[in-house]
Amino acid sequence: MAQQIPDTPEMQPLTRTQVLIAMGVTAVVLLVVSKIWLHFSQLSMLPVRFSVQAWLEGLALGVGISIASAIVYRIWGEYRRSADQYLTMVIKPLLVPDLLWLGLLPGLSEELLFRGVMLPEFGLDELGVLLSSLCFGVLHMSNLKQWSYVVWASLVGIALGLSAVWTGNLLVPIVAHILTNLVSGATWKLSNRD
């Protein structure tokens, strides 16, 4: 009797080393794509301007996204299942100190590409925010069953994109993204210890 292949194969767990390498390689690829895009574009990257106000705005946005994410996680079962599957694959193998890389690498590289380069290219308006946010959401899809995670990532991308447009400062979404990743990663890791 032939063995049947399941319709929805489960993702194989990754090792800590595999997750860290994947985060590093992904960050480098996104940075290279950003650099190449800028090379062929007539537009410049959204600027990063350091100021206390930008840090505070980024922190406030990061806290707001983290609270909204916790609420959505509790009330939307499909998103909770999708997030748990994704976070089990990505965060479970990591040690608590590794979560710093989870905050920094995607927070910097994804914001440089999606809000720093892609958003000005698509337009610093609602359509540009929407298009760059949808691309950001799709980046977070590991399989078709992750659709709810993609929807939430796209909504977060809209919040990050609007903050970039309203402030004209890429530092705001960078700080918010790093904080959101740190908070969600640490919260999930600490509440799902074996």
- Find the mean pLDDT for residues 17-29: 92
**2 pLDDT more than 80:** no
Nearest to 163 by CA among 94, 37, 75, 61: 61
pLDDT of residue 3: 44
pLDDT per residue as tens digits for the range 133-161: 999 998 887 777 778 888 999 999 999 99
Lowest mean pLDDT among 9-18, 67-76, 137-146: 9-18
pLDDT of residue 4: 42
- Find the mean pLDDT for residues 104-112: 92
Computed over every residue of the chain, the mean pLDDT equals 88
Lowest mean pLDDT among 44-48, 165-169, 174-178: 44-48
pLDDT of residue 7: 43
**78 pLDDT more than 60:** yes
Give the pTM: 0.86
